[in-house]
Chain A
Amino acid sequence: MSKRCEPPATFAPAPEASPLRDRLRSALIGAAKAAGVALGLAFPLLAYRTETDFSNALVLQERWAAVAAIALAAFVVRLICLLIPGRTKAASSPRRRRAEFAAIVARSRRLISAAGLASLIAFPLVVLVLLGPARSLKWIDSYGIQILIYMTLGWGLNIVVGLAGLLDLGYVAFYAVGAYSYALLSTNFGWSFWASLPIAGLLAALWGVALGFPVLRLRGDYLAIVTLAFGEIIRIVLTNWTDLTNGEAGVSSIPRVSFFGLPFIAGPEGFAAHFGLAYSPIYRVIFLFYLALALALLTNFVTLRLRRMPLGRAWEALREDEIACRSLGINTVAVKLAAFALGALVGGLAGAVFAARQGFVSPSSFTFIESATILAIVVLGGAGSQLGVALAALFIIGGSELLRELDWLQHIVGEGFDPTQYRMLIIGFALIVIMNWKPRGLIANRTPSVFLAEPRLAAPALAEEGRV
């Protein structure tokens, strides 16, 4: 290869070029290090997969190509990161752009909310018209109702985590109390859904107060761990108290929800016959959808209203600075307890709807992973932001359901490929990324609860630092 072929820029005289060359060299070294680390991390876990053979002993399958790919990817990504000029100078413009974007979102918040509400109300009917009764069942049920239940749970947990700043890792316990309350009341005593619903909510709230009372004096991270412990204890009790809960097998044939007393059944007493319609399970599903929607909207309404009231302001003040709250005569234990009880109440109501939707409950629906998913909805959406939580529920739960639709990838990637197993992997990764990159969540602006002049947003800079 002759020297003339070399591009002159890279071969330029030493004095000017040396910074560039040094930079290139250090970037290459950095990238090599990253590749080395990636190799070290990937080496045993990715390189070998353990499989059991016929005699139930383990054998290893090699996957070196994947290891090489990971190392190469680490090298390239790191190299690009190191070669792209330092962020310090360029930082102002993306930040400003982001602030502008946030302002646009904030201004159009009303519009987005109204559009969202309208599409939620129209959703079952649109699906029904587009797909017909048989095929729309799945969409209204797995997507519609399930997302609404998680939206409600997200909004309920948002009261505790987003507004009051109390990290509750055992939220699923209240969801379980609600679900089991309805399941047991209906199967053992023949209570209807409508009679059980308030009981489910109240029992959950009662548990919230009973569990909350001793622990609410604890510092934030201890509180989180204790709530986690309570959540697990409730699950273990549900699993092992077989006389009451039927243990791992769960409670099945929970009565379906009725149309204010009219059951959704095929016979002449049923809803369809009463209104002169042909029987179809779709009516029940659509009714349940609107029921879940009503519950979600009620939660949202109460939360938005409370934010503008002394109790809600005390929650936010508590999140900002507990000691200052106490110095102003705020009974912080009572205020925390109110947040805990209200959050639990919402969880309990959502649990009853869940039990009515499934017709079956078992302890496996109430694991720590479930709490973590709800927490991820709150954290990703933006702790304290109602709209953000709603959108996060849509993305996370809708996305998880969509993963189920990707079965056809098996034909490409290979047999045994199960896209749904990546769901929690992605959620876990998202939690880390959000905390490091946008700790206040995707929608991080806070609207003041009261104002003298005109509504404005908390400074995005403060929000970005996660101080707000």
Chain B
Amino acid sequence: MRAPHTALLSVEHLTMRFGGVIAIDDLSFTAARGEITALIGPNGAGKTTVFNCVTGFYKPSAGRLALTPSGAAAPEDLLALTQSGRRFSETASGEIYLLERMADFEIAQRGRVARTFQNIRLFAGMTALENLIVAQHNALMAASGPGLWGLFGLPSHRARQKAAIETAKYWLEQIDLIGRADDPAGALPYGAQRRLEIARAMCARPALLCLDEPAAGLNPRESAELAALLRAIRDEHAASILLIEHDMSVVMEISDHIVVLDYGEKIADGAPSAIRKDPKVIKAYLGVDDEDEVDLAASGTRA
């Protein structure tokens, strides 16, 4: 039984301008706890920009991004935090984070938002295992004091290090790369690198996992495995997922909720079945990109 669908991330009136160009215009949507929310739209619609705002790599020009990892925030608490000028607060209903005020690493560290990148960003020269251990940096640092106790081989550090390796092994098994744990990440095949990047994000124990085109460049079998992996992440690891994806078969199959962007504006928002029939969505896709239109139609008939 899944958790009740309260909002985990509420994006309100998000606007992002680069110079004179408006990349995102007054966008609002919510990503619910325990769900997979997909963000779709033609190329250049501003999807990755939304991701970069959520994860703090860009500072939004305007708007509020409220993250509530442990429960929906009471509106008065949210209002109080917004007016206080602080970045986050602990309230009776759980902590609230205002992502637009936080630095990127803080969002990942405190808000427990992890992400992957459209063009894979692994630590190419380090091994698969090391990649997964770097992801547990903050937990490990907490155990090793300011990083110095381990110098003298103190037991608290060694125990934590062992636990970190166990976590990494678990995820390597999940993504079927346990046999290549000691290979440099850059030497892995493309599909394996995509999976490793997801596993690395999961090693940070996120409440919200943001995936930027995880199925790009995968073959149909790999895409199916990816869908299964993402479902397992949602159901077994209490992580909600925000997903950008072009592969409509994956999107339609696993999403609980879809938000459609076009030219930085939201044109539709709803369950996959509703999105599939939405005339505005069909028009946006037909008008812009033949390939995506075919995908949409194909997945429509398949479902």
Task: Specify whether A and B are partners.
Answer: yes
Q: Check if B122 sits within 8 Å of A321, measured CB to CB.
A: yes
Q: Which B residues from 136 to 176 make CB contacts under 8 A with A? A: 137-138, 140-141, 144, 147, 150-151, 157, 161, 165, 169
Q: Check if A467 sits within 8 Å of B104, measured CB to CB.
A: no
B123 within 8 A of A: yes
CB-based nearest B residue for A309: B150
A9 within 8 A of B: no
CB-based nearest A residue for B55: A327
Q: Check if A446 sits within 8 Å of B108, measured CB to CB.
A: no
Q: Check if A458 sits within 8 Å of B105, measured CB to CB.
A: no
Partner of B182, one of A308, A452, A461: A452
Q: Check if B129 sits within 8 Å of A310, measured CB to CB.
A: no
Query: What's the Cα separation between A452 and B183 when bound, in Å?
Result: 10
Interface centre among B134, B135, B138 (most CB of A within 10 A): B134
Chain B residues in 8 Å Cβ range of A225: none
Q: Check if A450 sits within 8 Å of B137, measured CB to CB.
A: no
A438 within 8 A of B: no
Q: Check if A451 sits within 8 Å of B182, measured CB to CB.
A: yes
Chain B residues in 8 Å Cβ range of A331: 105, 109
B181 within 8 A of A: yes
Chain B residues in 8 Å Cβ range of A446: 125
Q: Check if B134 sits within 8 Å of A313, measured CB to CB.
A: yes
Question: Which secondary structure dominates chain B's binding surface?
Answer: helix
B184 within 8 A of A: yes
A459 within 8 A of B: yes
Task: Kindly specify which of B113-121, B224-232, B283-291 makes contact with the partner chain.
Answer: B113-121
A57 within 8 A of B: no
Chain B residues in 8 Å Cβ range of A454: 182
| B67 vs chain A, min Cβ distance (A) | 14
Contact flags A313-353 to B (C-beta < 8 A → 1, else 0)? 11011001101111111111000001000000000000000
| B164 vs chain A, min Cβ distance (A) | 9
Partner of A456, one of B108, B121, B182: B182
Q: Check if B138 sits within 8 Å of A329, measured CB to CB.
A: yes
Q: Check if B114 sits within 8 Å of A327, measured CB to CB.
A: yes
A267 within 8 A of B: no
A331-B105, A451-B181 are contacts. A468–B130 as well, Cβ < 8 Å?
A: no
Interface centre among B104, B117, B137 (most CB of A within 10 A): B137
A324-B122, A467-B124 are contacts. A329–B108 as well, Cβ < 8 Å?
A: yes
Q: Check if A328 sits within 8 Å of B135, measured CB to CB.
A: yes
A462 within 8 A of B: yes
Chain B residues in 8 Å Cβ range of A99: none
Chain B residues in 8 Å Cβ range of A453: 181-182
A329-B105, A453-B182, A468-B186 are contacts. A448–B137 as well, Cβ < 8 Å?
A: no
Query: What's the Cα separation between A199 and B126 when bound, in Å?
Result: 37
A306 within 8 A of B: yes
| B151 vs chain A, min Cβ distance (A) | 5
Q: Check if A329 sits within 8 Å of B182, measured CB to CB.
A: no
Q: Check if A306 sits within 8 Å of B105, measured CB to CB.
A: no
Q: Check if A451 sits within 8 Å of B127, measured CB to CB.
A: yes
Q: Check if A311 sits within 8 Å of B147, measured CB to CB.
A: yes
| A339 vs chain B, min Cβ distance (A) | 11
CB-based nearest A residue for B160: A310
Interface centre among A317, A323, A455 (most CB of B within 10 A): A317
Q: Check if A458 sits within 8 Å of B184, measured CB to CB.
A: yes
Query: What's the Cα separation between A323 and B48 when bound, in Å?
Result: 15
Chain A residues in 8 Å Cβ range of B117: 323-324, 327
Query: What's the Cα separation between A280 and B201 when bound, in Å?
Result: 64
Partner of B105, one of A330, A451, A456: A330
| B258 vs chain A, min Cβ distance (A) | 24
| A144 vs chain B, min Cβ distance (A) | 28
Chain A residues in 8 Å Cβ range of B105: 325-326, 328-332
Interface centre among B117, B130, B157, B161 (most CB of A within 10 A): B130
Q: Check if A459 sits within 8 Å of B184, measured CB to CB.
A: yes
Query: What's the Cα separation between A461 and B187 when bound, in Å?
Result: 9
Q: Check if B134 sits within 8 Å of A302, measured CB to CB.
A: no
B263 within 8 A of A: no
A321-B121, A452-B169, A468-B125 are contacts. A313–B137 as well, Cβ < 8 Å?
A: yes
Extra contacts, 9 of them, besides A308-B150, A327-B57, A456-B183 (Cβ < 8 A), are A309-B140, A313-B134, A316-B126, A327-B108, A330-B137, A450-B165, A452-B169, A462-B125, A467-B125
7 A–B pairs (Cβ distance < 8 Å), ordered by A: A310-B137, A321-B121, A328-B135, A329-B107, A329-B110, A450-B161, A458-B125
